Amino acid sequence: MGIVIAVISGKGGVGKTTATANLGLGIAQNGKKCVVVDFDIGQRNLDMILGLENRVVYDLVQVMDEEASIKQALIKSKVNANLHFLAASQSKDKTVLRSNKVEKLIAQLKQDFDFVILDSPAGIESGFEHTIEFADAAIVIVNPEVSSIRDADRAIGILDSKSQKVKEGKEVAKYVIINRIVAEMVQRGEMLKSEDILEILNIKLLGKVPEDRGVIDASNQGKPVILDKNSIAGQAYSRIAGRLCGQKIDMKDIESSDTGLFKKLAGIFH
Amino acid sequence: MQSNQYSIKVYETSIKDEAKFMTFFDVNYTLFKDHLIVIQGELSQTIKTYLEQKSLNYLHNVNLPKGRTRKALEKEWEEQQVQSVISQQIMESELSKLSDRLQNNLTVLDQMIRSGRELNIEGDLLLLNRVNSGATITTTGNLIITQLVEGAIRCYGNFMMLTASPKAHIMFHGVEVENEFLENRLNRVELKNSEIIITPVLEKEINWAS
């Protein structure tokens, strides 16, 4: 039986889909069978970021409505055989989801895969609620800014009240990834510090991802940034994927950066 | 207004022997020319003329602000630490004193009140965790919150005790309590003869280390 992880954020545009794609690939690189599912019905994005746009034939909604089998709808990644993808419908909207159908689909995926990663839509509407309903764990993606933190806080609150596991009296594991950290801005006090974010959200830190210009280009080309060994964001996602697969990897301090001008100058003299 | 702050050297003295004073200043002129001379006690015309001739800056009979040596500062800091231990004790005793007064239909909670949560409490509430931005707590009774409040509070009890961040929105009996009155580590807000009284229980913590 695999583990179901919902990737949530509350606020849009903080990097949920990018994180889902990279973590899925990172887990696959660790030799685990992984499926990433796009739950953002009506605004399908994950297929583009994974570079699988032209392979989508059947989508999630068609599987749930039994117009297609899971086997037909699952798309195998070109870059890693362990990674599979299930697309969202682009034409329907979030209201088509039904709890019992979602539950059935997730139960099926759990049997075949070690990791089932669900990419939640932004916001806290029904689409979001269906994503978290049957998840064993949630990864909250935040940016180091107040609006993202408050929305994430809200999303965690809903998770804690609406998740099936909580209703059964169990606890949903919650982790946070702080995305798009700019070390210089944190040092100047223009960005929230990780400690402050963790104090507000009060959940475990899974990893920190630095801002990296390469991410946009990687997404546009459909090659997740984790494939780029030189990318700092890619390296961060690799570390996080390793942690998810049970490896002990120390938290890297990306906030006291080595890339500052002063450090670079100092480096010349060493 | 534009202003600058400087540290200058001050030489404080009183004059007993005028001739000796002038010789001393003649010999050590280079040392004193950038000092501010403060003369306590009597100051004769002769000395005044002398100082002006030498164009030395001087003040007569002024109370200088207290300068402190490093050692004195360290000692003060140590005292401050002792103080914070004491204030911890004050806080604990204050908490136990007030929590004795929390008795009508008391709810005790140790959970984070996250954004979007609306908590309506009939009676008193003792909350041992933080209130995040975007959350609202309303109590018909008294209220004590031991951790930082960033959200909104509506309290209709006889008293409330809390620490508010500048983001918080605190209302006591429908009256908005200015955040600047609540900046201390712990504040007690009470209704006494229909007057709202705010008492700091613990002063703001001063971070000496940074």
The CATH number of whichever domain residue B195 belongs to comes to 2.160.20.70
Domain count of chain B?
2
Q: Which range of residues forms the domain containing residue A64?
A: 3-268
SS3 category, A75: strand
Residue A29 contacts residue A80 (beta carbons within 8 Å): yes
Residue A233 contacts residue A212 (beta carbons within 8 Å): yes
Q: What is the pLDDT of residue B209?
A: 46
- Looking at the structure, tell me whether residues B31 and B100 fall in a common domain: no
Which residue from B minimizes the CA distance to A161?
A: B117
The answer to whether position B65 is within a domain reads no
Instruction: Evaluate if residue B194 carries a pLDDT over 80.
Output: no
Please tell me which residue, A228 or B81, carries the higher pLDDT value: A228
In this structure, which amino acid lies at residue A108? Q
Q: How many CB pairs under 8 A join A and B?
A: 30
Give the pLDDT mean for A228-248: 96
The answer to whether position B3 is within a domain reads no
- Looking at the structure, tell me whether residues B34 and B78 fall in a common domain: no
Residue A76 contacts residue A70 (beta carbons within 8 Å): no
Interface confidence, given as ipTM, is 0.78
pTM of the model: 0.72
Distance CA B131, CA B178 (A): 18
Q: What is the pLDDT of residue B184?
A: 80
The answer to whether position B101 is within a domain reads yes
The listed range with the strongest mean pLDDT (A203-207, B36-40, B97-101) is A203-207
Of the pLDDT bands very low, low, confident and very high (cuts 50, 70, 90), residue B174 is confident
**Stretch (H or E) spanning B160:** strand B159-164
Domain count of chain A?
1
Put simply, the chain A residues between 113 and 172 with a CB less than 8 A from any chain B CB are 146, 150-151, 153-154, 156-158, 160
Which residue from B minimizes the CA distance to A203?
A: B112
- Looking at the structure, tell me whether residues B27 and B113 fall in a common domain: no
Put simply, the chain A residues between 77 and 106 with a CB less than 8 A from any chain B CB are none
Indicate the average pLDDT of chain B. 82
Give the pLDDT mean for B38-60: 86
- Looking at the structure, tell me whether residues B144 and B52 fall in a common domain: no
**Stretch (H or E) spanning A3:** strand A3-8
Q: How many CB atoms lie within 10 A of CB A198?
A: 14
Phi, psi of A212 (to 5 degrees): -150, 120
Looking up tokens 């007690």, which residue turns up? B188
Total residue length of chain A: 270
Distance CA A209, CA B15 (A): 69
Chain B residues bordering chain A (beta-carbon distance below 8 Å): 112, 114-117, 130, 132-134, 150
Of the pLDDT bands very low, low, confident and very high (cuts 50, 70, 90), residue B59 is confident
Q: What is the pLDDT of residue B210?
A: 38
- Looking at the structure, tell me whether residues B115 and B25 fall in a common domain: no
Bridge pairing between strands B175-177 and B169-172:
antiparallel
A139 min Cα distance to partner chain B (Å) = 17
The CATH number of whichever domain residue A236 belongs to comes to 3.40.50.300
- Looking at the structure, tell me whether residues B183 and B83 fall in a common domain: yes
Residue B47 contacts residue B21 (beta carbons within 8 Å): yes
DSSP secondary-structure letter at A267? Answer: H
Q: Which range of residues forms the domain containing residue B15?
A: 10-60
- Per-residue burial over B29-58, b if 16 or more Cβ lie within 10 Å, else e, is eeebeebbbbbeeebeeebeebbeeeebeb
SS3 category, B107: strand
From B96, B187, B103, select the one nearest B142 (Cα to Cα).
Answer: B103
Report how far apart, in Å, the C-alpha atoms of A186 and of each of A140, A198, A202, A206 are: 20, 15, 20, 19
- Looking at the structure, tell me whether residues B120 and B18 fall in a common domain: no
Which residue from B minimizes the CA distance to A154?
A: B115
Give the pLDDT mean for A167-187: 93
Distance CA B201, CA B91 (A): 7
C-alpha dihedral (B84, B86, B89, B93), degrees to nearest 10: -120
Question: Which residue, of B37, B60, B83, is where some domain finishes?
Answer: B60
Residue A156 contacts residue A190 (beta carbons within 8 Å): no
Each residue's pLDDT tens digit, A53-105: 999 999 999 999 999 999 999 999 999 999 999 999 988 877 788 999 999 99
- Looking at the structure, tell me whether residues B18 and B91 fall in a common domain: no
**CB-nearest partner of B134 from A153, A199, A202:** A153
CB pair distance less than 8 Å for A146 and B133 = yes
Q: How many CB atoms lie within 10 A of CB B21?
A: 18
- Looking at the structure, tell me whether residues B90 and B32 fall in a common domain: no
**Stretch (H or E) spanning A35:** strand A34-38
Each residue's pLDDT tens digit, B121-162: 999 999 999 999 999 999 999 999 999 999 999 999 888 999
Each residue's pLDDT tens digit, A124-176: 999 999 999 999 999 999 999 999 999 999 999 999 999 999 889 898 999 99
SS3 category, A8: strand
Of the pLDDT bands very low, low, confident and very high (cuts 50, 70, 90), residue A5 is very high
Each residue's pLDDT tens digit, A10-53: 999 999 999 999 999 999 999 999 999 999 998 999 999 999 99
**CB-nearest partner of B132 from A153, A158, A160:** A153
Least confident of A133-142, A190-199, A250-259: A250-259
Least confident of A249-253, B150-154, B174-178: B174-178
- Looking at the structure, tell me whether residues B87 and B166 fall in a common domain: yes
